[in-house]
């Protein structure tokens, strides 16, 4: 089936062909006409569905969700992420941004970003994607995780109605990007998956104008919407928060397997991919666990996707922990490089050797970084100026 936007889909009068009404199915068809299986529900987070908290009517910044199932009792099952929230009329999903109003699943974050900034692309962090350019960065309220160490909890753990926001619909985003001089749009800060429809429509319009789109995400998305998203985005940074399912449940309120599936899909679809891993003392600083993570990356993704190791600072509900020792980050970087991952970076540590890019073949300095001041002393047309080795990434 040809991929179409939700607006085109509804205009064509084809709703009944995809959003089927079932009394309690385990399978159905999504917006893109692909058969899919649904999770039983958000079993990992107690009280994840907010009962009777949805607005009575859609507001100006609402859009019918792209991917869900209607049931005979007027409940709906959201299919954007693996939680598979099943909502009765009046209920709000785990992410706080999706609601059941009269048996229809709506997103409340369409054209109303709560944060807009023009950032260096290195801030995402993306070190191998158009260095020295800027990304027009937008966020909507909500998140499908409950990370105990969330850095943006004021917007990620809030309902859209609770925040001040801008009015900027997809065509307005593309216009604003042109005025800003940014080379890309980054869907970031909170969790891009929760404003999927807004992101998808914006990225589709941006691609027509030659503007790149960047997914900055926890990677907790179902396969079919991710497959569609891969057709309109150009780069991604996925936060691989742990390599242990129990830790994912405890620290983040999710599961490991869907995130690994996302990483493999992005790699397979040829989307530029970089991986972030926050090293949290007492949680993700286990050496054996980190070695297993590196081994999986090499086997499933190969050696060329950059890995960013970030230093933890006390945040949100983990505000009594100490920051990650720099020595731990240095040791983990050495372990990852010895394992065979070619580009391993250290974040949140100014002036660390691990912020620069060196050729994996001859160790020549390719990209020098001091904060967000970036120079490319050793790069020539995507290759090492010293030995001519092609450097993986998007350089032009």
Q: Flag whether 69 is in a domain.
A: yes
Query: Residue 123 corresponds to which tokens in the numbers above?
Result: 């801030």
- Shared-domain flag, residues 79 and 202: no
- Shared-domain flag, residues 123 and 92: no
Q: Are 145 and 94 in contact (CB under 8 A)?
A: no
- Shared-domain flag, residues 12 and 144: no
Q: Flag whether 391 is in a domain.
A: no
Identify the residue with better confidence: 74 or 11: 74
Domain that holds residue 94: 6-107
Q: Which pLDDT value is given to residue 25?
A: 28
Which pLDDT tens digit goes with each residue over 140-159? 999 999 999 999 999 999 99
* Confidence check: pLDDT of 40 > 90: no
- Shared-domain flag, residues 173 and 39: no
Which pLDDT tens digit goes with each residue over 279-314? 999 999 999 999 999 999 999 999 999 999 999 999
The percent of residues in the chain predicted with pLDDT above 90, rounded, is 86
Residue 35's pLDDT band, with cuts at 50, 70 and 90, is very low
- Number of domains comprising the chain: 2
Residue at a domain's end among 107, 139, 174: 107
- Shared-domain flag, residues 103 and 120: no
- Shared-domain flag, residues 217 and 312: yes
Tell me the C-alpha distance between 61 and 59, whole Å.
Answer: 5
Tell me the C-alpha distance between 128 and 121, whole Å.
Answer: 10
Q: Are 230 and 268 in contact (CB under 8 A)?
A: no
- Shared-domain flag, residues 157 and 234: yes
Residue 28's pLDDT band, with cuts at 50, 70 and 90, is very low
Residue at a domain's end among 41, 76, 107: 107
Residue with tokens 């009594």: 320
- Shared-domain flag, residues 195 and 121: yes
* Residue of 333, 288, 319, 342 whose CA lies nearest to 153: 319
- Shared-domain flag, residues 56 and 140: no
Tell me the C-alpha distance between 307 and 106, whole Å.
Answer: 36
* Alpha-carbon torsion, ordered 340, 343, 344, 350, to 10 deg: 150
- Shared-domain flag, residues 126 and 73: no
Tell me the C-alpha distance between 257 and 159, whole Å.
Answer: 27
Q: Flag whether 394 is in a domain.
A: no
Residue at a domain's end among 107, 128, 162: 107
Q: Which pLDDT value is given to residue 8?
A: 40
Q: Which pLDDT value is given to residue 10?
A: 34
Tell me the C-alpha distance between 109 and 138, whole Å.
Answer: 12
Residue 48's pLDDT band, with cuts at 50, 70 and 90, is low
Three-state SS sequence of the chain:
CCCCCHHHHHHCCCHHHHCCEECCCCEEECCCCCEEECCCCCCCCCCCCECCCCCCCCCCCCEECCCEEEECCCCEEECCCCCCCEECCCCECCCCCEEEECCEEEECCCCCCCEEEEEEHHHCCCCCECCCCEEEEEECCCCCCCCCCCCCHHHHCCCHHHCCCCCCCHHHHHHHHHHHCCCEEEECCCCHHHHHHHHHHHHHHHHHCCCEEEEEECCCCCHHHHHHHCCCCCEEEEECCCCCHHHHHHHHCCCHHHHHHHHHHHHHHCCEEEEEEEECCCCCCCHHHHHHHHHHHHHHCCCCCCEEEEECCCCHHHCCCCCCCHHHHHHHHHHHHHHCCCCEEEECCCCCHHHCEECCCCCCEEEEEECCEEECCCEECCEECCCCCECCCECC
Q: Of the ranges 6-20, 178-192, 195-209, 257-271, which one carries the lowest mean pLDDT score?
A: 6-20
185-216 burial, b for 16+ CB within 10 Å, e for fewer?
Answer: bbbbbbbbbbbbbbbbbbbbbbbeeebbbbbb
Residues with Cβ within 8 Å of residue 138, at least 6 apart in sequence: 113, 115, 116, 168, 173, 185, 186, 187, 188, 189, 202
Instruction: Characterise 205 by phi-psi region: left (phi > 0), alpha (psi -120 to 50), beta (else).
Output: alpha
């Amino acid at each position: 089936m040809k991929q179409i936007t939700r607006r085109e889909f509804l205009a064509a009068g084809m709703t009944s062909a995809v959003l089927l009404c079932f009394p309690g199915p385990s399978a159905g068809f999504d917006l893109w006409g692909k058969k899919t299986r649904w999770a039983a529900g958000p079993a990992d987070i107690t009280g994840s569905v907010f009962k009777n908290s949805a607005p009575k009517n859609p507001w100006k910044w609402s859009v019918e969700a792209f991917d869900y199932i209607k049931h005979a009792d007027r409940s709906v099952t959201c299919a954007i992420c693996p939680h598979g929230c099943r909502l009765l009329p009046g209920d709000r999903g785990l992410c706080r941004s999706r609601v059941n109003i009269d048996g229809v699943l709506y997103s409340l974050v369409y054209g109303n970003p709560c944060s807009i900034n023009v950032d260096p692309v290195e801030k995402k962090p993306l070190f191998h994607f158009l260095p020295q350019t800027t990304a027009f960065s937008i966020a909507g309220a909500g998140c499908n995780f409950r990370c105990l160490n969330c850095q943006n909890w004021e917007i990620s753990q809030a309902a859209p109605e609770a925040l001040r926001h801008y009015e900027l619909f997809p065509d307005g985003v593309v216009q604003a990007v042109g005025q800003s001089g940014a080379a890309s749009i980054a869907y970031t800060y909170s969790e891009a998956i929760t404003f999927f429809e807004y992101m998808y429509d914006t990225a589709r319009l941006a691609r027509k104008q030659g503007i790149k789109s960047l997914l900055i995400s926890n990677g907790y998305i179902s396969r079919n919407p991710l497959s569609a998203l891969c057709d309109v985005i150009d780069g991604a940074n996925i936060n691989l928060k742990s390599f242990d399912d129990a830790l994912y449940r405890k620290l983040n309120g999710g599961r490991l397997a869907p995130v690994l599936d996302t990483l493999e899909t992005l790699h397979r679809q040829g989307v530029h991919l970089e991986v972030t891993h926050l090293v949290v003392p007492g949680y993700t600083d286990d050496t054996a666990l980190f070695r297993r993570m590196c081994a999986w990356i090499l086997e499933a993704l190969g050696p060329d996707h950059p890995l960013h190791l970030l230093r933890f600072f006390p945040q949100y509900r983990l505000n009594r922990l100490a920051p990650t020792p720099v020595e731990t980050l240095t040791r983990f970087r050495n372990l990852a490089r010895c394992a065979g991952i070619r580009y391993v970076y250290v974040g949140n540590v100014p002036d660390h050797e691990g912020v620069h890019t060196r050729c994996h073949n001859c160790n020549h300095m390719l990209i020098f970084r001091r904060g967000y001041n970036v120079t490319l002393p050793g790069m020539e047309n995507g290759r090492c100026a010293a030995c001519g080795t092609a450097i993986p990434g998007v350089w032009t």
